[in-house]
Amino acid sequence: MEYVIEMLNIRKEFPGIVANDNITLQVKPGEIHALLGENGAGKSTLMSVLFGLYQPEAGEIKVRGKKVNIANPNVANGLGIGMVHQHFKLVHNFTVTENIILGQEPTERGRINIQKAANEIKELSKKYGLDVEPHAVIQDITVGMQQRVEILKMLYRNADILIFDEPTAALTPQEITELIEIMRRLVNEGKSIIVITHKLKEIKEAADRCTIIRRGKYIDTVDVENTSEEKLASLMVGREVSFIVKKDAAKPGKTVLKISDLVVNDSRGLKAVEGLNLEIREGEILGIAGVDGNGQTELLEAISGLRKVESGKIELLGNDITNMAIRNRTETGIGHIPQDRHKHGLVLDFRLAENLVLQTYYKEPYSKNGLLNDEEINNKADALIKEFDVRSGQGKDTVTRAMSGGNQQKAIIAREVDRSPKLLVAGQPTRGLDVGAIEFIHKKLIEERDKGRAVLMVSLELDEVMNVSDRIAVIFEGRIVGVVKASSATESELGLMMAGAAQDKGEGDI
Amino acid sequence: MIKYITDEKNQRFIVPLISVLFGFIAGAIIMIITGINPIDGYSALLDGVFGNTRKFGEWIVSSIPLILTGLALAFGFRTGLFNIGAEGQFIVGAFAAVAAGIFVELPKIIHLPLVLLAAALAGAIWGFIPGILKAKFRVHEVVVTIMLNYTALHFINYLIKILPGSTNTRTVDVFPSASLSSEFLSSITRFSRLHWGFIVALLAAFLYWYIIERTTFGYELRSVGFNQHASEYAGMKVNRNIVYSMMISGAFAGLAGAMISIGTFDYARVIGASEGYGFNGIAVALLGNNNGFGIVISGLLFGALKAGSSAMALAKVPKEISEIIMAFIVLFAAMNYGIKRLLIHLRKEEK
């Protein structure tokens, strides 16, 4: 048996779009096989076909050399195929054990033997080094642990072909390293793994072979060892991709945003930002580096007006905006690319066109005498879709929920940048996006800077902060503990500051 | 034919039509089980609606309030609210119209709009209470509105009894200038109770569509209904919009009340229990897909089942059969996802 999974010439259509067009994927037993593609390339669709969530229009699937018809996920489970979804499917107020046995409860005369199941799970957990406590309640454990519960769920059902859908999206760097170790151990025990991802670094680290798809089409299958990251990137995007962000030196002008002694509470009422001072000037990108949870979210929300300021002052172009209503801030000149694009950035059930005017719908020409002008709205949408290359099934009429993450983000950026705000606030603008989209977004941020706008970018990816910013401010426990020039900053220096080791580095460092 | 039915573009109205068809088929099965020939049953129903112009008029009369409560519920659904309090808003609206029709006498051209306004306003105020409680204190509107339904029922019964001239069961008639009833309409429909309310219902359906789809205000309300966080991010006044949505929904329900009190009867009645117009509005909105035109159609359908039930009873078909059919239609309408799946399946077989 050469291949454990063979998906041959798979075709899957959705209204207005061919998600999979003649795609072939062959997975050898005992390998970690990466499935690489941009957002919306059709990776998840292909895996949903394999898992029985969708029926393909053409093509065939062979499991362990035998042709099969996977009509629903139960058939897939029966064939030993298990899937860890990107968004975990766990009952939050159940324990680990209860979640794992859900649907396959070991019953004796109508009663569930939880202890027996818990012991089995403990054993499994030990065998694969997962270190999961069977009686812990899901809502009390970390995201990384929850993912391990999902893995255990597959193992408990005796799956030996494991699909991971974007497994690292929600994990910290430390958890990612651990996950890769776990995956190796699984393979060593005879499992085969398919991992859906667009993160090249992780593919290089973990995978044996990699199949690349682009815009629904099969491109190539390569040995990861002999293929460089650049090569993988260009196969995925279809052109050369540069990892270095090209930009000229910044020409900072007058101060746009001035934050003094800012104090902001988090949702639990604890101080998250404690006496923060910061200044951003025209024509520069200020990157905020820091470990997640050091007050970045609260800072962004305080600037954009989503969160109340306890004390301190925020000034935009000399206007005090500390307690200003959000709409007034927007009109004073703030563009905001929110961290959570689904929560704040988009009304997912709106048409794309409606989302593209979310900040301007009440103004002429989109609204006149209280009436919407659909023609103007649609024209604007078409123009932005073209300019920002926002791809979707039905153009401006696509329900935004049906779009890929990268294109949703492009839509938000189109909307915010198009208003030419004096200050552009970007919270993790490239989170979860593929290299093509990341490159595009970085380019747009730099274009805005070159037009003389001030850009404030928060990112948890140190590489991104270092590549894109002109100046880097490091945030630690709600304070800026140092501001350095990006051109001369080193990773180790920033790393130390992010860990709070450089409290003495003052604001006037540059 | 099959191709037309399974085409995705037509799903918007094909799916509700299939729900209705299934509802009638299920009703036929029930009739067969109880030993009634479904052909007799359904011809009695048809006769009850189209049999003569009087029956036709009565059909429209029973459809008018259903269309309006359907609009009330749909307005809530489109803006993220479940206004189960349409029943209570209906009751206060019915009373307010009568009160405004008893206490003053004005030329009809002023008086009639005034009593309709009073009904809408009363419904809006009754909707304002759950709206403000939700906006300020995050109290769920379903809980508040259910309680307010009882409050409205008993409070209004009390008010009806203390109005000048009221008996224990009803108020006096409103001034003719405040009545929707029309001798003309009555005369062309062999003295049915048909009144001008059908114009109110049609205008309301148009207004509903216009506010929701065409106005900037409607855009905001829909946005808040779908995603409060994104609406706040976009600088909308989320809490204010929740209150407005509840009030407008209540206004439609209040108008529905007026259709009965100053349309069908010309006076307000003491009622022992809710008459279900508000609850039926849920079904009407559901089947009508929260679409203005769809609600008019589905209101007419439920109105027909209501009006036809007495004709069915005359043909020795139990009245309850028509209620069972209604329930089945609602059931199948709620199963629209399954019907869509079925259509997709059919489309594939076609290929």
CATH number of the domain to which B149 belongs: 1.10.3470
Q: What is the mean pLDDT of residues A43-52?
A: 90
- Closest by CA to B71, choosing from B59, B92, B89, is B89
pLDDT bin (cut points 50, 70, 90) of residue B224 is: very high
Is the pLDDT at A245 greater than 80? The verdict is: no
How many CA atoms does the CB half-sphere of A41 hold within 13 Å?
26
Average pLDDT of chain A, as a whole number: 90
Q: Which residues of B touch A332 (CB under 8 A)?
A: none
The residue of chain B nearest to residue A346, with distances taken between CA atoms, is: B230
Domain annotation covers residue B97: yes
- Give dist(CA A147, CA A175) in Å, integer: 10
Q: Provide the percentage of residues in chain B whose pLDDT is more than 90.
A: 75
Mean pLDDT over the full length of chain B: 92
Q: Evaluate if residue A242 carries a pLDDT over 80.
A: no
- The model carries a pTM of 0.81
User: Between these two residues, A6 and B351, which has the higher pLDDT value?
Assistant: A6
For residue B139, tell me if it sits in a domain: yes
Confidence of residue B6 (pLDDT cuts 50, 70, 90): confident
Rounded Cα distance between B186 and B179, Å, is 13
Which residues contact residue A459 at a Cβ distance below 8 angstroms, ignoring those fewer than 6 apart?
A287, A288, A289, A428, A429, A430, A465, A468
Q: At a CB cut-off of 8 Å and minimum separation 6, what does A386 contact?
A: none
Number of domains in chain B: 1
Residue A96: its pLDDT value, please?
A: 94
Q: Which of A430-434, A448-452, A460-464, B156-160 has the lowest mean pLDDT?
A: A430-434
Pairing of strands A209-214, A32-36: parallel
Domains in chain A: ranges and CATH: 5-237 (3.40.50.300), 244-333+422-432+446-510 (3.40.50.300)
- Give chain A positions within 8 Å (CB) of B226: 347-350
Write out the residue range of the structural domain in which residue B157 sits. 35-317
Query: What does the pLDDT average to over B228-246?
Result: 96
Distance CA A7, CA A52 (A): 13
Measuring CA to CA, how many Å separate A245 from each of A148, A194, B279? 36, 31, 61
How do residues A139-152 score in pLDDT, each as one tens digit? Answer: 888 888 999 999 99
pLDDT at A1: 66
**Ramachandran sector of residue B276 (left: φ over 0; alpha: ψ -120 to 50; beta: rest):** left
At A507, the pLDDT band (50, 70, 90 cuts) reads: very low
Encoded tokens for B183: 């001798």
Q: Cβ of A372 and B8 within 8 Å? A: no
- Per-residue pLDDT band for A510 (boundaries 50, 70, 90) equals very low
* Residue A502: pLDDT band with limits 50, 70, 90: low
| pLDDT at residue B234 greater than cutoff 70 | yes
Region class of B326: left (phi > 0), else alpha (psi between -120 and 50), else beta = alpha
Contact A349 B227 (CB under 8 A): yes
Q: How far is CA B336 from CA A17, B114, B287, in A?
A: 24, 41, 9
Is residue B15, in this structure, part of any structural domain at all?
no
Q: What angle do CA A78, A143, A27 make, to 5 degrees?
A: 40
CB-nearest partner of A371 from B216, B223, B231: B216
Nearest to B216 among A330, A358, A370 (CB): A370
Domain assignment present for B326: no
Answer whether A229's CB lies under 8 Å from A36's CB.
no
B114 in any annotated domain: yes
Residue B285 in any domain: the answer is yes
A391 vs B5, which has greater pLDDT? A391
A304: nearest CA in chain B?
A: B233
**In terms of CA atoms, which chain A residue is nearest residue B236?**
A327
The pair of three-digit structure tokens given for residue B186, joined into one six-digit string: 């009555």
Q: Which residues contact B48 (CB under 8 A, 6 or more apart)?
A: B55, B59, B307, B308, B309, B310, B311, B312
Q: Is residue A49 a contact partner of residue A20, using CB atoms and an 8 Å limit?
A: yes
Q: How confident is the model at residue B95 (pLDDT cuts 50, 70, 90)?
A: very high
B34/chain A closest Cα distance in angstroms: 39
Phi–psi pair at A232, nearest 5 degrees: -60, -45
Residue A142 distance to chain B (closest CA, Å): 25
**pLDDT at position B65:** 97
> Per-residue pLDDT averaged across A422-438, rounded?
88
Both tokens of residue A504?
A: 């003495």
Q: pLDDT-based confidence at A505, cuts 50/70/90? A: very low
- All residues of chain B having their beta carbon less than 8 Å from the beta carbon of residue A302 are none
Does B351 have pLDDT greater than 70?
no
B-chain residue closest to A401, CA distance? B226
What's the CA gap between A323 and A264, in Å, rounded? Answer: 12
Query: Cβ of B245: how many Cβ atoms within 10 Å?
Result: 27
pLDDT at A131 over 60: yes
Structure tokens belonging to residue B184: 């003309």
Nearest to B102 by CA among B90, B91, B92, B114: B114
A250 pLDDT higher than 90: no
A350-386 tens-digit pLDDT: 999 999 999 999 999 999 999 999 999 999 999 999 9
Contact A419/B at CB under 8 A: no
**B314 has a chain A CB within 8 A of its CB:** no
> pLDDT tens across A325-341, in order?
999 999 999 999 999 89
Q: Where are the alpha helices (DSSP H) in A130-271?
A: 143-156, 173-188, 200-206, 229-237
pLDDT category of residue B272 using cuts at 50, 70 and 90: confident
Average pLDDT over residues A461-471: 91
Residues of B in contact with A328 (CB under 8 A): 235
- Residue B5 domain-assigned (yes or no): no
Assigned token pair, A12: 């899957």
Count of A–B CB contacts within 8 Å? Answer: 64
| Contacts (Cβ under 8 Å, ≥6 apart) of A68 | A61, A62, A75, A79
Distance between start and end Cα atoms, chain B? 14
- Whether A351 contacts chain B with CB within 8 A: no
Residues 1-30 of A with CB under 8 A from B: 15
With a cut of 70, say whether residue A5 has pLDDT above it: yes
pLDDT in tens, B279-328: 999 999 999 999 999 999 999 999 999 998 888 888 888 888 888 999 99
Q: Is A121 in contact with A150 (CB distance < 8 Å)?
A: no
ipTM, interface predicted TM-score of the complex: 0.86
pLDDT at A471 over 90: yes
Tell whether the model's pLDDT for residue A106 goes beyond 60: yes
Q: Are B66 and B280 in contact (CB under 8 A)?
A: yes
Asked whether residue B349 is domain-assigned, the answer is no
> pLDDT digit string (tens) for A207-232?
999 999 998 999 999 999 999 988 99
pLDDT, average across residues B244-250: 97
**DSSP 8-state class, residue A65:** T
Higher pLDDT, A78 or A239: A78
Tokens of A386: 């073209």
A346–B219 CB contact, under 8 Å? no
